[in-house]
Amino acid sequence: MPILAVVIIIVGTVAAAITFFTIKTITAPKKITELKKLLEQGNTGTVIKSTRALIAKDPKNTEAHYLLGQAYLKEKKPELALMEYKTVDRIGRFSMICPEREFRRGIAELFERYRQPEEALKEYLILLKMEPENARFYSKAGELFEMRDRGDKAEGFYRKAIELDSRLGTAHFRLGRLLYNLKRTGEARQELEKAVSLNPNLYQAWFFIGRLLKQNKDFAGALTAFEKAQKDPEQKIRAIIERGTCYMNLKNIDSAEAEFQRAVKLSKDDSQQEILFARYFLAMCFEMAKDIEKAIDQWEIIYSANATFKDVATKLSQYQDLRHDDTLKDFLTASMPEFHEICSAVVKSMGMNIREIKNSTGGCQIIAIDAEQKWERAKRLPRLIRFLRVMDPIPESIVRSLHEEMKSLSVNLGMIIASSSFSKKASEFAGSRPIDLYNKDKLQVMLKKIRY
C-alpha cells in the first residue's frame, strides 16, 4: 500500500476518534442540563428513565444520581432518593448541576426523616463549616445532640442559633424544652414564652408553658395554655389530660371528668400510657363522686391492659366486696343525707342515742350516749364516733386527731368505724387509749343488722 494511503487512513482514524470524543464531551453535559430543565418542569418520568440509562453507562455519574434522587423525591419516593443521595456522597464529586451545599441540606433532611440522627448530625456539622452564620443549622445540630442525650452540647448550639438570629422561635422553643427537662424552670419559661411571642403557633411550646403554670398552681393560666397546645396533633391527648388534672386541682370534678372522657374517646389504643393515666384519673373522679361502680369499670380496663399500673390491683381488691355486698356499696356511695341515716342506724343498733351528727373529712362524726344505764348509779358517758368511708388504710394521724378532739370536747370514749383497715401504728396508738377501732369486716357485720 502506498505510504500516502497509510497516512490518510491514520489521519482519518485519529480525526474520527477526536470527533467522537468531542461530540461525547459536548453532548453529555448538554443532556444533563436538559434533564435538569425537564425535572424543573415536572417531567419526572423522562428524567428517571434517562438518568438510569446514563448511570448504566457511567455508574459514577454523580449528576445523574443526584437528578434521579430529586426525581424520586418529586414522585414521593424518599427511600429511593436516599439511596441515590448516598451514592453521590460516596463518589464525592460536586458541580453546578449537583452543588454540594444543596445536596447536603437534602441528604440531612432525608437522614432525619428515616431516623438516622448520627448521619444527619454529620451533615449539619459539615454545613456549618460551609455556612458558619446559619442559625437554622445550629438549631438543627442542637436538636440532634439532644437526641443523643448530650444536653450540654445541645444547649450551646441552641444559644449560638439564638445569638445569630434572636427571632428564631424554634431555637427558643427547643432551648426552653431542654431547660424544662433539666428542671431549670425559670430559664425554661423565659425561652418558651419568647418562642410563642415570636410564633404563637408553636403549640408544643404552649404545652410546656402549661406545665410550668400548673407547677406554680396557676391553674387558670395552665388551662388556657393547654387549650392552645391541643392544636398540636402529637400533644392533643396529653394536653386534654393535663386540663383534666387542672380541673381536679380546682375541685371542679365534673369538668375534670369531661376532659378525661374526651381523652379516652380520642384514643385508638387502650394500652397507651397516656390513656391509662386518663382512665386512672377518670376513676378518681368517679370515686370522689361516690360513683364506685363506674370507677371499678375503669380500673378493670386498666388492669386488663397493665396489671401493674400504679395501685389499680389494690383498688380492685379493696372494692371487690361491692360486687356482692349491697350494704357496703350503699355505705360507700350514698349521698350525704343518706349516709347520715346509715351511720345513725348503726349507732342506734349499738344501743346509743344520738346527740349530734356532722360531716367530717372522709365521712361523718357523731356524739352519742348510751340509751340505757347498765348500773343504777353509773353515769352515762358520751362517745365520739367517727365514720370513715375510705379505702386506704387508716393512718395513726387519724386516730390521734380523734383523740385530740375527744380531749377538746371532754369526751372520754372514742370509736372509729371505717370501710378499710387500720395501719399497725394506728392500732397500737388506739390500744393504749379508750378508742375502739372497727375495720371493714366488722362494719359489714354491723350494716347487715340495720334498717334505714
256-272, pLDDT tens digit by residue?
A: 999 999 999 998 888 89
In this model, does residue 193 exceed pLDDT 80?
yes
The DSSP result for 1-28, as a single string, is --HHHHHHHHHHHHHHHHHHHHHHHHHH
Minimum mean pLDDT range among 25-34, 38-47, 92-101: 25-34
For position 6, what pLDDT does the model report?
A: 45
Boundaries of every domain in the chain: 200-324, 330-448
Question: What pLDDT was estimated at residue 4?
Answer: 52
Choose between 104 and 25: higher pLDDT: 104
State residue 415 phi and psi, 5-degree precision: -155, 140
Mean local confidence (pLDDT), 100-113: 96
> How much helix, strand and coil, in percent to the nearest 5, is found in the chain?
70, 10, 25
> What per-residue confidence (pLDDT) applies to 346?
96
pLDDT band, residue 321 (cuts 50/70/90):
confident
Report the C-alpha gap between 61 and 128 in whole angstroms.
27
Reported as a single tens digit per residue, the pLDDT across 233-253 is 999 999 999 999 999 999 999
CB 51 within 8 A of CB 73: no
Q: Do residues 157 and 122 lie in contact, with contact meaning Cβ atoms separated by under 8 Å? A: no
- The position carrying cell 453507562 is 57
pLDDT band, very low/low/confident/very high, at 373 (cuts 50, 70, 90): low
Mean pLDDT of the chain: 90
Instruction: Kindly give the pairing relationship between strand 435-438 and strand 382-388.
Output: unpaired
Are 167 and 202 in contact, with CB atoms under 8 Å apart?
A: no
Q: What is the mean pLDDT of residues 341-369?
A: 94
- Class of the CATH-defined domain 200-324: mainly alpha
Long-range contact pairs involving 359-367 (C-beta distance under 8 Å, separation at least 24): 360/386, 362/388, 362/389, 362/390, 363/339, 363/387, 363/388, 363/389, 363/390, 364/336, 364/339, 364/340, 367/409, 367/411
pLDDT for residue 135: 97
Nearest 10 degrees: Cα torsion 319, 320, 324, 329: 0
Predicted local distance difference test score (pLDDT) of residue 2: 58
Residue 376 has pLDDT above 80, yes or no: no
pLDDT (mean) for 38-63: 94
Query: Which pLDDT does position 391 carry in this prediction?
Result: 82
**Angle formed by the axes of helices 151-164 and 135-147, nearest 10°:** 170
Domain 330-448 has CATH 3.40.1350.10: yes
The average pLDDT across 339-356 equals 95
Query: Comparing 53-67, 186-200, 335-349, 378-392, which segment has the lowest mean pLDDT?
Result: 378-392
pLDDT exceeds 50 at position 7: no
Residue 414 backbone dihedrals phi, psi, to 5 degrees: -130, 160
Lowest mean pLDDT among 139-143, 201-205, 212-216, 286-290: 286-290
> In Å, what is the CA distance from 154 to each residue of 139, 158, 315, 408?
8, 6, 43, 61
**How many whole angstroms separate alpha carbon 354 and alpha carbon 347?**
8
Residue 27 is predicted with a pLDDT of 39
